[in-house]
Amino acid sequence: MNTTTKRTWFIAFVVSLGGFLFGFDAGIISGVMSYAGPQFDLNDVQTGWVVSSPSFSAMIAMLISGRLSDFIGRKKILIVVAFLYALSALLSAYAVGYDMLWIARMLGGIAFGAALILAPTYIAEISSAENRGKLVSMQQLNIVLGFFAAFLCNYYLNELNTSGESFLSDETVWRWMLGLELIPALLYFVLMFFVPNSPRWLFLKGKVDAAKNILVKLHGNSKAEEEAKAIATSIENNQNKEKVELKELLKPALRFIFLVGLTLGILQQITGINAIYFYATSIFKQTGIGTNAAFASGVLLSTIAVIFTIISMVIIDKVGRRPLLLVGIAGIAISLLCCTYSFSNATYKLTEEKINILDTSINEKLTPFLNKAYDNDVQFKREMQEALGTKVYAKNDGAILEAAIEMNSILVLIGILGFVACFAFSLGPVMWVMLSEIFPTKYRGLAIGVIGFVNSISSWLIQQIFPWELSNLGNAMTFLIFGLIGVVGFFILLKVLPETKGKSLEQLETEFVQ
């Protein structure tokens, strides 16, 4: 790898650290809520809001950050993003109640909303056609590395807490989980000062010499000259057009690629990926494997995500975007339907032997349910909550489910890991690669911002309603809904999805925009 290539990879890595922080925050909250939820006695709506509030504020950030970056530059906004990540981590760790916790997390949401839009945009603008897929995919790699780091921290801190031999307690362990995010946030803030401005943005601002100097450092003299000519031609073709407005995204010349991008943006979220990531510990508890095993399974889940994201980065520029997306969405649908089948066959019964191994403070209250059989998780959990109270049940739900449930938990684990693997080499990274490619330079910031906004709405809705779904619809019905969405999504993508592999941004602009 030559010096210019190394420099490009380093810059892409630094910029995409915002993705690492998003992944860390998303992964860490699944462990946090196992402790903070019972401590603050949160109901389903409050639990959903603490988890989903960052996605809610991210919607606003996604809508305005693309356009704002067209005026003041990608780099300056990403520096602010890093600062907000650090502030959010600090305030979350010191939250004294429900309100402070969700407000602090919303600050982090503003940060990752902007980062998820601007990082792939920036990376696409410093990349050549030959390596753009790999470099933009680094955003998703950093996201899943963030998940891995978070689940590993959750597992380690949970083990320290449950051992009873450390300074941690149920009241403080979740604060350490949240506070650890401060370390990568500060690193991101410092490293962003070593990143240049986007050369395409500098061209748009008339700073041609500065843009050419950056291109030379990134690609070498000959490639830089080629890239500079292509960028200048693209901008010249658009400079006589009026100011970009939202309604222009629906004009005939852009309508097809906008609808393709919108479909990808919605489908990425409504198949339930953030329900899996944000509530991983809770989902694994539903299988009855126990709280400690649920934390351990989160580490396995994030490891699978890392492995298959790397596979995607290696093959995306060889295989192409369309095959990866189609194979991935098909695998997602099959995996979710496997989970549905297993949960639909689960039964629940507390025997005397199983009740006796539970905490002595609750087993007497569960005696009336001795040998009572349930074939519905909703009814079982509801009666347990009524007997124990929501706060006590929330603190002991992993142990109670482990004692009562009879099901094929291995099939659920395979289904969830299959889902994560298929997502990690398809909808996860490839959606952002395609969004960074299919729109002309003039429209890119606005178009990705709008699609990112819709993507974030979808993510927020899934995260907000997921606890309610589990409590009121049950595990099987919840996963069935996600699985059927995956089936429908496969046939939609089969019909409309184009291929963008190996083409420069300017070539794609000529091909897609009339």
How far apart CA 150 and CA 157 sit, in angstroms, is: 10
Between vectors from CA 190 to CA 187 and to CA 195, what angle results, nearest 5°? 115
> Looking at residues 120-149, what average pLDDT do you find?
78
Out of 7-16, 205-214, 339-348, pick the least confident: 205-214
Average pLDDT over residues 16-32: 88
Span between the terminal Cα atoms of the chain, in Å = 38
C-alpha 461/C-alpha 422 separation (Å) is 22
Identify the pLDDT of residue 415.
92
Q: What share of the chain is helix, strand, coil (3-state, %, to 5)?
A: 85, 0, 15
Q: How far is CA 190 from the centre of its chain?
A: 24
Question: What pLDDT, on a 0 to 100 scale, did the predictor assign at position 82?
Answer: 92
Q: 93-128: buried (b, 16+ CB within 10 Å) or exposed (e) per residue?
A: bebeebeebbebbbbbbbbbbbbbbbbbbbbbbbbb
User: Where does the pLDDT of residue 159 fall: very low under 50, low under 70, confident under 90, or very high at 90 and above?
Assistant: confident
Confidence of residue 108 (pLDDT cuts 50, 70, 90): very high
State the angle between helix axes of 291-319 and 321-344 in degrees (0 to 180), rounded to the nearest 10. Answer: 160
Whether 397 has a pLDDT exceeding 70, the answer reads yes
Would you list the DSSP string of 242-304? PPP-GGGGGSHHHHHHHHHHHHHHHHHHHT-HHHHHHTHHHHHHHTTS-HHHHHHHHHHHHHH
- Asked if 133 and 501 touch (Cβ cutoff 8 Å), the reply is yes
- Cα separation, 453 vs 63, in Å, equals 5
Mean pLDDT of 447-459: 83
Cβ–Cβ < 8 Å for 141, 429:
yes
**Which pLDDT score, from 0 to 100, does residue 514 have?**
54
pLDDT given at position 491: 94
User: What pTM value is reported for the model?
Assistant: 0.74
Residue positions counted in the chain: 514
Contacts of 250 by beta carbon, 8 Å cutoff, 6+ apart: 258
pLDDT tens-digit series, residues 194-230 = 888 878 878 877 787 887 888 887 777 777 777 777 7
- Mean pLDDT, residues 435-445 taken together: 75
Backbone angles phi, psi at 384, to 5 degrees: -65, -40
Give the residue from 113, 133, 423, 458 showing the smallest Cα distance to 263. 458
* pLDDT (tens digit per residue) in 471-507: 889 889 999 999 999 999 999 999 888 776 655 555 6
Give me 401's structure tokens. 């489910």
Tokens of 59: 């919607």
What confidence tens digit (pLDDT) does each residue in 288-335 have? 777 778 788 888 888 898 899 888 878 887 888 888 999 999 999 999
Sheet with 405-406, strands from edge to edge, namely 373-374, 347-349, 405-406
pLDDT at 99 over 90: yes
Token output for 441: 């330079």
Query: Does residue 104 contact residue 40 with C-beta atoms inside 8 Å?
Result: no
Mean pLDDT over all residues of the chain?
Answer: 84
Confidence of residue 180 (pLDDT cuts 50, 70, 90): very high
CA dihedral 422, 426, 429, 430 (to 10 degrees): 180
CA distance 419 to 411: 12
How would residue 242 be classed by pLDDT, with cut points 50, 70 and 90?
Answer: low
What gap in Å lies between CA 138 and CA 309, rounded to an integer?
A: 9
Cα→Cα distances 314→134, 135, 141, 218, 419, Å: 7, 10, 11, 21, 20
- Residue labelled with tokens 């602010």: 80
Per-range mean pLDDT, top range of 241-255, 425-439, 450-464? 450-464
Tokens 């295989």 -> residue: 319
pLDDT class for 9, splitting at 50, 70, 90? Answer: confident
Contacts of 33 (CB under 8 A, 6+ apart): 42, 47, 50, 51, 279, 281, 282
Average the pLDDT over each of 124-128, 371-375, 385-389 and give the range with the smallest value.
Answer: 124-128
What pLDDT score does 93 carry? 94
| CB burial of residue 356 (10 Å; 0-12, 13-18, 19+) | exposed
What does the alpha-carbon distance between residue 272 and residue 332 come to, in Å, rounded to a whole number?
10
- Measuring CA to CA, which residue among 43, 62, 12 is closest to residue 455? 62
Q: Please determine, for residue 240, whether its predicted confidence score (pLDDT) is greater than 60.
A: no
Note the pLDDT of residue 185.
93
In the prediction, which pLDDT does 328 show?
93
